[in-house]
Structure 1
Amino acid sequence: MKKKIASLLLSATTAAMIFSGCGSAATQTTAQSDTKATEQEATAQSNVEQKDDGESSEAALDKAAQAIADRKAKAEKDGKYEKVVIAFFDWTGRPAGLDRINEALSAYTEETLGLDVELMIIDSAAYGEDMKLMLSSGEQVDLFSTCILGYNPSINNGYVLDLEEDGMFDDYCGGIKEKIRADYLDACRVGGVLYGTPPIKDYAIETAAVCVGQEYLDAIGYDVSALPTGDLGYPKATWDDINDIFTQLHAQFPDKYVMAIQDNELTQGSSVDNIAGDYFGTLLDPQNSLKIEDVYASETFKEWAQRAYDWNQAGFISQDALTDTTGASAKVKSGAYMAMMACSKPGYKTQISGECGRDMVVFDVGESFMSSSSVSSFPWCVNQNTEDPVATLQVLNALYTDSTIETLMCWGQEGKEFKVNSDGTITYADGVDANNSEYYPNVLWLMPNPYVTYVWEGDPLDLGQQIADFNDNCTCKSKALGFTWDNTDYASEYTALKNAYDEFGPKVVYGFVEPEAGIAELEQALKAAGLDDYMAGKQAALDAWAAENGIN
């Protein structure tokens, strides 16, 4: 690794600055499609001068700038730019316009970073397995989101790089340190090592948001205004309200499925804290207790299993639910499904309407919740085997700070995918919508920092600040917030537990088996796979963390 880094720090001509963007991570910055390199250089100087890690800001700037200069000099000599590949997923697979976006992206990053940058976008249904294959086989993937793949599994499998090795993070990621609070970065440490950086997003969620197409509600004559309004401005509903809506929808549209159900009832529909990112030992009362408990033996899980069973028996759920791994929003977008569940936040109606390709009503059935792993659920990581760690870290830094790069990644190209409104928000370009757009991944919550680019029309320009306030004012914050657990010593137990759940859990979650019998079968399999030992390991680590941090 050190040889890779040293080879990049050869003497050469002076270079442009690396860092771009400024201000609070929660403050909306309007992106400009014609951002100039000279403007970035001026901003870069300001960002680097604020470094507080004890190293001279000028020295760090010199290293970053020198690395860019060296790459440009090499590209001029070889006639070819080095490439960095960024992998993430969307709900519908590789966008039709991805080659065009990558061409525009590389044209920009050749000037600012001395690199070609390529986005690799994979359908969510295939992302986990495809990434495992690529990361283990040596195929080029330099930066990747650990969502679906899993942060701890990525660490345990040796996929990820220690970002602070040889002082690289301090030298090349000063912009990230400006954008992300130190305690949020610390929340991504496992065993004291920083392997990833969290996307700047809603770390709090509003649980159990049931989203239904407006057109379907209109067809049954449902009066949404009769419901009270929750804190986020969405209609506040009960599960009885939702069941009534589903019954009417099924009667009105017998040729469609009501609910695009997924295995997310605990993640998105409850305030159960999935300690260390899995549900094999959880906090059932996270606001008040640090006791690790078995969620699958809890009343919370039993209620969800019964609800899914009732929906399945009523015909609301597709009989292919166990095998169809298509994302819920993609199912709704197809027109074959009418509703889905998610977790909401400020601005969520705009997001989910875009994902589903139709106006969606968001029913608020839950409460705001911030889990222990909310910050560290799916950080962005660098491949341990990346050929050029310095270049890759400089790209990672730019994803958090450069409005032009983030605009291309989040929204595509102005005039092709979107146009800018007079108020500074954006909307579809003329003749474009969610169904025919050539680039519309619509996974803003996954992106490193969408708050350095535009907001969609209908959302406030200060959406980033609203998200920050939502995080700060969360109703239910876990006492274990920031706790991470290195489960390496329990990797075999985790694998056995995951296999046991995969065999017996989904049929309970999707309502294909009577709850009492199905849960008993699942519990027996989990116990045999070592659930008690795994939970004991979690509890010991959590207790030690709590004692170290003075948390009772």
Structure 2
Amino acid sequence: MKKNYAFLSLIISIFTLLAACSNKTTTSDENKKNPTDSKTTELTMAFLAFGPPPKDLELVQNEINKLTKEKINTTVKLLPINASQYTQQTNLMLSSKEKLDLLITGNIPGFLDYSGQAVKGQLYPLENLIEKYGKGISSALGSKYIGSSKIGGKTYGIPTVRDLAGDRSLIMRKDLVDKYNIDIAKIKSLDDVEAVLKTIKENEPNVYPLMPGQVGAATLVDGVSLPEGDPLGDNLGVLLDSSKLEVSNYYESNEYTDLLKVARKWYKEGYILPGASTNKDSAESLMKAKKIFSFIQSSKPGIETQVSKNVGFEVVSVPLTPVSTNTQKVTGFMWAVPQFAQYPEKSVQLLNLLYSDKDLVNLIDWGIEGKHYVKTDNGIIDYPAGVDANTTGYALNSGFQFGNQFLSYVWKGDSPDIWKEMELFNKNAKASKALGFLFDSSPVKTEVAAVTNVINQFKGAIENGMVDPKTELPKFQERLKAAGIDKIVKEKQMQLDKWAKVN
């Protein structure tokens, strides 16, 4: 969120919401032209919602439309769709060609299927439009990331500007770290982590030392796998070393075997939350209730402040893996234009504002100044007097998906330099040699489905140490081979070699 499975489980476990669809529109290519200057165009924009729609959504939308009408003679219909229904509803809209001009997509296995949408011809190629209307987009992303989403040499998706890199960190309750004089600066390896978990186990009988990930579907292996590698999107054929374009079966690697041994030992010692792989509570909710000491989290600048705010008390963190970036991290969240969009030029013009216009970014991120937030003397923003997280009328809290997050105001509690820190974080991350490669799984879709079923059967138990890997790993590997994992690895290597010749 591996981590991708955890993140999927997180977003599909939160609130359920039915989102309305717009009327259908023509798909004729003859109609794909810029409207005359005198005609105001309305664009429907679908994005992820992680709760009920804000009650002031229409008020904010009206303010957005004042700005977009003045700048590009366009109005916007905001269409938040709950994360639990987003995949199903946007797939329905794409297949039925309902009115839709922009949508969030990405590469998160089992959730956002940018590659599949592009291969099926559902998305509009954007190179020419970005060149003509997207100077702000190109400037915000830079050359390192602007071409990372190409499929068949064409760009169908534009990554959002956010944390485009990451590491995995151990998040710990500071009260217990202080209580037992744990020197977090000395935590450098899994052996060091084990010593800390042992301290908690021996002294805090009512606290479980570790939940492996943010949600129950996560495993210990997910949390610390491939520190020097690249999952190549789905872990079905990986780079164990991201500086070499050599695809291998991760489930047969020494690294995987070694991590299973650690998981088994920690489980038997009682360090891992019982039933972790089926637990339905988030790590943050369990930590807030003081039932766990720590969990493993995908990390970035400001993560301690973010988690502390969510759990209600201070936490500290230590990195467990190096900071790295790969195609999956960069293309996790992107904007795309449906192939049937009536005015793709206007869609890209609107996107260009989301990557370059600070007023628009902060309207959609935070709402209306004075009503939903106020600026403090140092430029940091906070709730107005008498308003809080429970009473505000607008709190999407998902600036990561709205274009250029670096243009967003900084909320009280975050570092005033959070976006400079994030930019440096991205810049200094170790980039996979396969950055920009996207696997087309359609030639092996039968094998992918079969292998995924096998993984789902074994993953939770074996990767959280609930079963003995000495007996279960050979069974797991045998079943994977029978399902066709070798064919998937071979196909991925072939596509990667072909990609490397061009890139």
- What is the match of residue 496 of structure 1? 450
- What is the match of residue 205 of structure 2? 251
Comparing 94-103 with 485-494, greater Cα deviation is found at: 94-103
Kept in 2, the 8 Å contact 1:273–1:286? The answer is yes
Distance 1:333 1:129 in 2: 32
Cα-to-partner distance string for 1:430-482 (whole Å, 9 max, x where unaligned)? 344556555444444444211112123354444333323223333x4323233
Cα-to-partner distance string for 1:135-159 (whole Å, 9 max, x where unaligned)? 4444554321325313323324444
Aligned-partner SS, 1:143: strand
Matched AA of 1:539 = Q
Kept in 2, the 8 Å contact 1:256–1:336? The answer is no
Kept in 2, the 8 Å contact 1:398–1:405? The answer is yes
- What is the match of residue 149 of structure 2? 188
Cα-to-partner distance string for 1:173-200 (whole Å, 9 max, x where unaligned)? 2221222223412111111010101111
Instruction: Report how far residue 346 of structure 1 moved.
Output: 2.3
Comparing 525-534 with 375-384, greater Cα deviation is found at: 375-384
Instruction: Decide which of 475, 480, 488 is 1:526's aligned counterpart.
Output: 480
Aligned-partner SS, 1:228: helix
- What is the match of residue 117 of structure 2? 154
Distance 1:467 1:272 in 2: 21
Instruction: Decide which of 104, 110, 129 is 1:144's aligned counterpart.
Output: 104
Cα-to-partner distance string for 1:108-129 (whole Å, 9 max, x where unaligned)? 4344444443444444444444
Q: 1:269 and 2:224 equivalent? A: yes
Kept in 1, the 8 Å contact 2:48–2:80? The answer is yes
- What is the match of residue 320 of structure 2? 365
Distance 2:195 2:80 in 1: 38
Q: 1:426 and 2:387 equivalent? A: no
Comparing 253-262 with 355-364, greater Cα deviation is found at: 253-262
5 Å-filtered alignment, 1:191-230, equals 191-206=152-167, 208-214=168-174, 221-223=179-181, 226-228=183-185
Instruction: Report how far residue 405 of structure 1 moved.
Output: 2.3
- What is the match of residue 350 of structure 1? 305
Distance 1:445 1:211 in 2: 21
Distance 1:237 1:414 in 2: 49
Kept in 2, the 8 Å contact 1:372–1:479? The answer is no
Kept in 2, the 8 Å contact 1:202–1:467? The answer is yes
* Matched positions, count: 469
Q: 1:283 and 2:239 equivalent? A: yes
Instruction: Decide which of 21, 37, 40 is 1:71's aligned counterpart.
Output: 40
Instruction: Report how far residue 533 of structure 1 moved.
Output: 1.3
Cα distance, 1:217–1:308 mapped onto 2, change above 3 Å:
same
Matched AA of 1:473 = N
Cα-to-partner distance string for 1:206-261 (whole Å, 9 max, x where unaligned)? 2x21223445656xx2445x33289xxx9999322452365268624479979644
Q: 1:9 and 2:35 equivalent? A: yes
- What is the match of residue 76 of structure 1? none
Matched AA of 1:406 = V
Distance 2:173 2:387 in 1: 20
5 Å-filtered alignment, 1:445-524, equals 445-474=400-429, 476-524=430-478
Distance 2:363 2:259 in 1: 39
Aligned-partner SS, 1:86: strand
Aligned-partner SS, 1:70: coil
Structure 2 runs not aligned, ≥5 long: 1-27
Matched-pair identity in %:
26
Distance 1:304 1:263 in 2: 14
Cα-to-partner distance string for 1:374-394 (whole Å, 9 max, x where unaligned)? 323332222333343233222
Cα-to-partner distance string for 1:5-52 (whole Å, 9 max, x where unaligned)? 23x333xxxxxxxxxxxxxxxxxxxxxxxxxxxxxxxxxxxxxxxxxx
Matched AA of 1:317 = L
Cα distance, 1:4–1:327 mapped onto 2, change above 3 Å:
farther
**TM-score between both structures, scaled by the size of structure 2:** 0.79
Cα distance, 1:111–1:507 mapped onto 2, change above 3 Å:
farther
Cα distance, 1:132–1:524 mapped onto 2, change above 3 Å:
farther
Distance 1:93 1:283 in 2: 40
Matched AA of 1:88 = L
Instruction: Report how far residue 292 of structure 1 moved.
Output: 1.0
Matched AA of 1:182 = S
Q: 1:132 and 2:91 equivalent? A: yes
Distance 2:203 2:113 in 1: 36
Distance 2:31 2:285 in 1: 42
**TM-score between both structures, scaled by the size of structure 1:** 0.73
Kept in 1, the 8 Å contact 2:46–2:81? The answer is no
Matched AA of 1:154 = Q
Kept in 1, the 8 Å contact 2:221–2:260? The answer is no
Cα-to-partner distance string for 1:251-302 (whole Å, 9 max, x where unaligned)? 2447997964443756653325445411100011223x32211112223333
Instruction: Report how far residue 321 of structure 1 moved.
Output: 4.2
Distance 1:522 1:406 in 2: 47
Cα distance, 1:323–1:244 mapped onto 2, change above 3 Å:
closer
5 Å-filtered alignment, 1:407-426, equals 407-426=362-381
Cα distance, 1:179–1:315 mapped onto 2, change above 3 Å:
closer
Kept in 1, the 8 Å contact 2:277–2:461? The answer is no
Distance 1:143 1:337 in 2: 37
Structure 1 runs not aligned, ≥5 long: 11-65, 73-81
